[in-house]
Amino acid sequence: MLHHVELYVSDLHKSLNAWDWLLTEIGYTVYQQWDKGRSYHFGATYLVFVQTEIDYLEPSYHRKRTGLNHLAFHAESLEQLERLRPELSRHGFKELYADRFPYAGGPNHIALYFEDPDRMKVELVATM
């Protein structure tokens, strides 16, 4: 079982605007909070967001470079995806593959894809 994931972000305020909304919508709660970061807890796993130090902001993150490509989360249903979808941009996310929603992952894969403020891909997968 995964214990935690720690993500360094270029602008903590922008990232928390996006991630706080999303994570609380799918059942996470704030776990810890400090000047340069915040963590969210769900079950035995937690996610940590930390402000990247200025000396390490360049080169910026890109999911196609070596490293983390995306995070995928369980969603309750297609209805939940449809409810969250129009709210993405208001919280700093950018929808991906909008023309193929909800089957961008294939005919048997109901999901919503989007990017966070640092352009990390996020996937919400609805159980069938």
Residue range 82-123, pLDDT digits in tens: 999 999 999 999 999 999 999 998 888 999 999 999 999 999
Q: Which amino acid is at 11?
A: D
**CA of residue 70 relative to chain centroid, distance:** 8
Residue 4 has pLDDT above 80, yes or no: yes
pLDDT single digits (tens) 30-75: 999 999 999 999 999 999 999 999 999 999 999 999 889 999 999 9
* Nearest-10 Cα torsion for 21, 25, 28, 34: 10
Tokens linked to 116: 């966070």
The pLDDT, as a whole number, for residue 66 is 87
The span from the CA of 61 to the CA of 95, in Å, is 18
Nearest to 93 by CA among 18, 17, 4, 38: 18
